[in-house]
Structure 1
């Protein structure tokens, strides 16, 4: 079912938790707003973290750091980020571009702003199942022109992962995931299908909107930017309305995924299933072994300048 053909849901999703993300510093002088990963919302299986990055500092970024056991999804709205890793992979993520990185058994990389001006985007951490945590690192990258998009009179959507309005993303997700970037004009209403048993949430980027059953009613309280809305589960879809009275476009991402239902043990950039696996990840990184061999002599351009 596509969002363009659904007028109602047999089991609609509604908002069960609302969390406001406030600015904080991470990395080296980088300003972020954390959604998933805050104390109030530690994780939402299979999601470990969502950060909104909005910074104008040319030095505010994330120099050389490791990952193991999950995937990072970087999606830029404005500005650019340079990335490089210890396997020789490097490039620039520009506005509208997507990078879906599978850290797997181990990667060390850097993510630093490219040039002056504002840099605005999202980074999502998606957990991997125990059978995939130690696979080889991999990248899927799409330039803005290759990201699947749908344009209607009042609604635009970029299909980062999953499907909307019958249009599917070409991105392969090891952990089944949907990631949709919507912009809705005042007076518009959306009904977006979500697989029945997936966990899902909304993060509001700009404007304000009403989410859940009865969303078209003027007496409903709209939700403003930087709020995370956890949606009930199970459920077959969510309704969203940008009220005519708002006078401003509403932009938000809708993200959902199949729960892994496995233990989560996290130590910073390492996410495994047991404490013993975390201890091994730390030792592997320190001793430059078992996937981290290239870390012994590698240093990114951001640190070697």
Structure 2
């Protein structure tokens, strides 16, 4: 059975970080949580705007670059540049302090997704999975190209390991293309449209969706889409196994109880229990911001 549309949400612009603006859909007032997904932002930033030194605990961040580049640096010495088509899948786990700033003078445009972790994984050691665009598998069939960032489809599997079972596909459709993509039943599924207009849903309940919209689906066996527009269309599709645990969020910390949050705030301020390196650390971009102010 093709999944019917449950809800369509247009994101709202809001301020984040250091002078940055993000178009937020999941995590906003219209779509607070979508288990296991906590947040989805489309960011468009140019130096000195960005996301300087800040902490995380209890979930994963997935950064996917649409254009431009982002420079990443953390308090254990991990650093690098995420360029167009690259993905960084960061497990914050028990604690990460990092910086995400535009690299170079061009505008950095991308998506950042927050994926929740179950209680037993919230305090794992931080880790990274970073893939260059050329290393992410792509499959094309009948005018539909699927870039498989996480999960598997059409007999092809991504090398990304997901603690919370998840699929993340970047899908492009030529004019007139039609797609039926099987997905696990019971998983939370949505798409975020990037360019063009796409019609989603079973034939009796088709709805046309504009750019920069989030489409949440009911349960079913597949997502059905068609491009009847006059230009190619592109969207990302995400599907994840619900965790079904309480979610208590305080800014960049996501735990199961208010007591867990209070303990996390204490750990961060006291630089203990995973945040020890935060005591003396300052990113290169953070120092650059201080010098320019």
TM superposition score normalised by structure 1: 0.92
Match of 1:160 in 2: 149
Tell me whether 1:174 sits opposite 2:163 in the alignment. yes
State which of 37, 49, 65 in structure 2 corresponds to 1:47: 37
State which of 66, 70, 74 in structure 2 corresponds to 1:77: 66
State which of 280, 286, 292 in structure 2 corresponds to 1:297: 280
State which of 114, 120, 127 in structure 2 corresponds to 1:125: 114
Measure, in 1, the Cα distance between the counterparts of 2:60 and 2:284.
23
Structure 1 unmatched ranges of 5 or more: 1-10
CA deviation vs aligned residue, 1:28-48 (integer Å, no higher than 9, x gap): 111211111011100100000
Task: Report the secondary structure of 2:264's partner residue.
Answer: helix
State which of 195, 200, 203 in structure 2 corresponds to 1:214: 203
Runs of 4+ more than 3 Å apart? none
- Where do 1:246-265 residues align within 5 Å? 246-265=229-248
Match of 2:227 in 1: 242
Match of 1:138 in 2: 127
Deviation at 1:54, TM superposition (A): 2.2
- Where do 1:58-73 residues align within 5 Å? 58-73=47-62
CA deviation vs aligned residue, 1:84-128 (integer Å, no higher than 9, x gap): 000000000000111000000000000000011221111100000
- Where do 1:262-277 residues align within 5 Å? 262-277=245-260
Measure, in 2, the Cα distance between the counterparts of 1:81 and 1:29.
16
Task: Report the secondary structure of 1:131's partner residue.
Answer: helix
- Where do 1:283-294 residues align within 5 Å? 283-294=266-277
State which of 216, 219, 225 in structure 2 corresponds to 1:230: 216
> Does structure 1 retain, via aligned residues, the 8 Å contact 2:4–2:201?
yes
Measure, in 2, the Cα distance between the counterparts of 1:32 and 1:151.
31
CA deviation vs aligned residue, 1:203-236 (integer Å, no higher than 9, x gap): 1111111101018x9xx54110111111002x11
Match of 2:20 in 1: 30
> Does structure 1 retain, via aligned residues, the 8 Å contact 2:88–2:131?
yes
* Number of equivalent positions: 288
CA deviation vs aligned residue, 1:165-193 (integer Å, no higher than 9, x gap): 22111100000000000010110000011
More deviation, 189-198/17-26:
17-26
Task: Report the secondary structure of 2:203's partner residue.
Answer: coil
Deviation at 1:248, TM superposition (A): 1.0
> Does structure 1 retain, via aligned residues, the 8 Å contact 2:201–2:207?
no
